[in-house]
Each structure stands twice: as C-alpha cells, then as structure tokens.
Amino acid sequence: MRQSRLFTKTTKNISAEEKSLNAQLLTRGGFVDKLAAGIYTHLPLGLRVINKIGNIIREEMNALGAQEILMPALQPKANWQVTGRWDELDVLFKLKGDDSKEYALGATHEEVVVPLLGKFIFSYKDLPISVYQIQTKFRNEKRAKSGILRGRQFLMKDLYSFHADEKDLGEFYEKIKESYWKIFERVGIKEKTYLTLASGGTFSKYSHEFQTVTDAGEDTIYICKKCHLSINKEILADINPVCPECQSEEFDVKKAIEVGNIFKLNTRFSGPFNLRFKDADGKEKIIFMGCFGIGLDRLMGTVVEICNDENGIVWPANIAPFQAHLILLKPDDKESAKEAENIYDALQKADIEVLFDDRNLSAGIKLKDGDLIGIPVRLVVSGRNKGKIEVKERAKEEVRLLNLNEIIELIKGL
C-alpha cells in the first residue's frame, strides 16, 4: 500500500486524558481513534493487526475441530432472565425496543449459544461439539482507563464447548490450554504470559487466566519461583500463599493483564436452559459446558505495552500491519524514485506486504514515522547505494546493505 494514499496520518496531538501507553502509541501511529472512553475505531493499520490476530486464533480454534459462527449482539431480555443474569450482571447494557420489548447488548453469549445448540443436540452421537465466534462485546465497564485494554465495546473470541460428562470437558479443557499457548507464542507474548489460577465463580473451584506481565496490568499475580504457576491475588486469602502445584512459598509479585480466560461452566447454563441429550441407553442427561475467551483488542494493546521503545511500537513479525516498510528518502530524485517503484513491485510479486512511503515529506519525518508505526523491516532507498538497499530491522540497531533477493529471504525468514 502507498502511504500517500493512506487516509490516516501519524499525530503528535493526543488528548491529555489518554494516559495509557498502548492508546497513546496506537493513536499517534494511526492505528486506532477514540470516540469516547473505552470506545475506539480500528483504522486501516489497526484493523490489519486485529485481522492477523483473529486469523491466528481462527487457525488454532479450527485445528481443535471447533466451528465458527456469528451470533447476534442484540439479545432478548427473556433469554437473560432464564439464567438470572438480567439482574445479576452489572455491566450489561440494556435497551428498549419500539414494541416495549427489552434487549441486552451481548456482554457474553451463553444466553444465545445454549438455546441455539439445544436445537441441534439430541443424542450422545452429537457430542462433543465446540463452536466459537469473533464478535463485538458490549460491557458497561466502570473503569475504562486502560486504553484498548478495557473497552466498553471490544472484540472477543469466545468458544463454547458441549460435553457428555465432566471427564470429556476436562480433556477438552487441557487441549484448549495447549492451543492458547500456541496463540500467545505466535503473537509474541508467550514468554511474559503465565497460566494463573483465578476464582471459578459459582461454577467450579478455579478457572484459569492467561496473565501477561506488564506494569499496565490491572491485576496482581503471584508467580511461583519454582514451577512458574501463578495465582491471581483476588483468590488469595493470606499474604503468604503456598503454591498448590509444588508447595513452594516463594513468589514474584507482578502486575499483569488477563489476555485470556478459560472456564469450566459445568451445568451452570445447561441447567437453566434444560440442555440435555440421550445417552447410549436412551437415558436423558444434562450437558457439561466450557467457555473460553480471548480479547483481540486487549491482545493488541498488550503487545504494544510490551513491544515498544522510546521511538514507538516494535511489532512482532506475525501480527505487524505490514511485513516491510519501504521508504523513498528523496522523492524528487527521479532515479531513486524509479528504483523504489521497482522494489515495491518486486516485493509485492514475492507476496510480501509492503507499506511504501512515497510521500513528499522530509527524510526525518519519514524515518520517525517508520519507527512509530513499528513495521519489522525498514528498507530505505536513497539513490546512493548502487542497487543495494539499506535494511534495518525495527528491533535491531544494525543497518545493512542488501540486494533484493537477500531482502526477500530475510523477510520470509522472520
């Protein structure tokens, strides 16, 4: 894409009330725009990142055999009354329709997915099933001060699984843990992410959160120094916890953000909706469920909190908006302009996603913008290197002169 055609611009002027680093960098770089507290537009660069995150999640969910659906955000009150959550869930946005019927904006989708699957599950032969969606959630969050880490409207992948018994749910739960690790590895935050025991609410003893360590985090976690299991402070009765895994009493205490959450719902929602199946003996039995979430915007914001330096964002290669940033330093110089056009063509032919800075701006501005936007590989065409291109990786200091083939090899290898 030509940067001269990109309708967004980088900006220095951001609202003083935007205190969080993720929102500051993403706004300055032209990735998101704030409409109101906790409500953001994804601009072209930001949407490219979100789509890449979404596709990584999709691949891992599909590999588990889960099927993608898209459920409505507008949900009738009656469904929420079945589970009691119309009155219980304090973050629920409620609306009135013309016909004096009331609706909720989906904060989560158990109230839709359980009756939905009830139309398709009859016997043990229909189980297990897992369905997921990537969809907009609405929550009237009290504190929406963490930029895109805590939105009032945000994208979530939520997967719901349906099982004949607790054992089958338990096995699926372990499989999904593994696929979450793959997702966090692919988006570049695995090393800072800890499997964390959290409260299970009324449904089970514990749930598990995936907590990524960053000072921007809203949670406090205790990381066991011996086995690296972590425990959310919210479930710790005493200040000297003992690790339930290895009995060690030594912990690192860190701030962290919950990027994902996995829950054994057991029969909490199948009960009220009477979601049952016939087993092999023809007996009716209740279905066991799990639910498994990951916030896409929150994941993008978490990556930004972790991957940055004083000049801007440093995107991990798998989720960068583009693979390469081609910068024409002197657009007036006909020969180097022609060289840059040729490189742009050749990279596209090699299936490399390139942002081509062909704008009529000073070299200083272009290089600064390049660092702020944070694309992994910067290619500078200046007309003085006789066919070679100045290559700098965003995360490294070193500048190298390489030819086109070497550059393609470098980018494909990242």
Residues that bind ligand ATP in the complex, under the rule CB under 6 A: 108, 139, 141, 150-151, 154, 156, 258-261, 293-295, 297-298
- Residue 238 phi, psi dihedral angles, 5° rounding: -110, 170
Distances (CA, A) of 90 to 14, 100, 104, 257, 354: 31, 22, 12, 21, 45
Residues that contact Mg ion, how many (by CB under 5 A): 1
What is the spatial distance between Cα 26 and Cα 4, in angstroms, rounded to a whole number?
Answer: 19
User: Residue 193 or residue 270: which is nearer to ligand ATP going by CB?
Assistant: 193
User: Residue 265 or residue 389: which is nearer to Mg ion going by CB?
Assistant: 265
Closest to 20 in 3D by CA, of 303, 301, 374, 321:
301
Per-residue binding letters, 234-263, with Mg ion (x by CB under 5 A) = ------------------------x-----
| Count of positions (residues) in the chain | 414
User: Residue 135 or residue 261: which is nearer to ligand ATP going by CB?
Assistant: 261
Q: Say which entry of Mg ion, ligand ATP, none residue 139 contacts (CB below 5 to 8 A, set by partner kind).
A: ligand ATP
User: Residue 117 or residue 159: which is nearer to Mg ion going by CB?
Assistant: 159
Distances (CA, A) of 91 to 138, 219, 262: 8, 19, 20
Query: How many CB atoms are located within 10 Å of the residue 362 CB?
Result: 11
User: Residue 291 or residue 375: which is nearer to Mg ion going by CB?
Assistant: 291
Q: Closest separation between CB of residue 323 and ligand ATP, Å?
A: 26
Q: Closest separation between CB of residue 234 and Mg ion, Å?
A: 8
Per-residue binding letters, 67-96, with Mg ion (x by CB under 5 A) = ------------------------------
User: Residue 139 or residue 366: which is nearer to ligand ATP going by CB?
Assistant: 139
Q: Distance of alpha carbon 256 from its chain centroid, rounded?
A: 15
Q: Say which entry of Mg ion, ligand ATP, none residue 60 contacts (CB below 5 to 8 A, set by partner kind).
A: none
Using an 8 Å Cβ cutoff, are 257 and 216 in contact?
yes
User: Residue 109 or residue 366: which is nearer to ligand ATP going by CB?
Assistant: 109
Q: Say which entry of Mg ion, ligand ATP, none residue 154 contacts (CB below 5 to 8 A, set by partner kind).
A: ligand ATP
Q: Closest separation between CB of residue 180 and ligand ATP, Å?
A: 10
User: Residue 212 or residue 336: which is nearer to ligand ATP going by CB?
Assistant: 212
Query: How many CB atoms are located within 10 Å of the residue 341 CB?
Result: 15
Q: Closest separation between CB of residue 56 and ligand ATP, Å?
A: 15
Show the tokens assigned to 42: 């994804």
Q: Closest separation between CB of residue 319 and Mg ion, Å?
A: 23
Q: Closest separation between CB of residue 253 and Mg ion, Å?
A: 18
Q: Say which entry of ligand ATP, Mg ion, none residue 156 contacts (CB below 5 to 8 A, set by partner kind).
A: ligand ATP
Helix (H, G, I), strand (E, B) or coil at 392: strand
Q: Say which entry of Mg ion, ligand ATP, none residue 312 contacts (CB below 5 to 8 A, set by partner kind).
A: none
Checking 399-404 for CB contacts under 8 A at 24+ apart, the result is 404/343, 404/346
User: Residue 72 or residue 201: which is nearer to Mg ion going by CB?
Assistant: 201
Q: Say which entry of Mg ion, ligand ATP, none residue 151 contacts (CB below 5 to 8 A, set by partner kind).
A: ligand ATP
Q: Say which entry of Mg ion, ligand ATP, none residue 293 contacts (CB below 5 to 8 A, set by partner kind).
A: ligand ATP
Q: Say which entry of ligand ATP, Mg ion, none residue 298 contacts (CB below 5 to 8 A, set by partner kind).
A: ligand ATP
Q: Say which entry of Mg ion, ligand ATP, none residue 150 contacts (CB below 5 to 8 A, set by partner kind).
A: ligand ATP
Core vs surface per residue 380-389: b (16+ CB within 10 A) or e: bbbbeeeeeb
What is the spatial distance between Cα 79 and Cα 194, in angstroms, rounded to a whole number?
Answer: 35
- Max CA distance (Å), the chain: 81
Using an 8 Å Cβ cutoff, are 1 and 43 in contact?
no
End-to-end CA distance of the chain: 20
Q: Closest separation between CB of residue 199 and Mg ion, Å?
A: 9
Using an 8 Å Cβ cutoff, are 184 and 56 in contact?
no
Angle 413-303-210 (CA atoms, 0-180°, nearest 5)?
A: 110
Show the tokens assigned to 324: 């390469």
**Contact positions toward Mg ion, by CB under 5 A?**
258
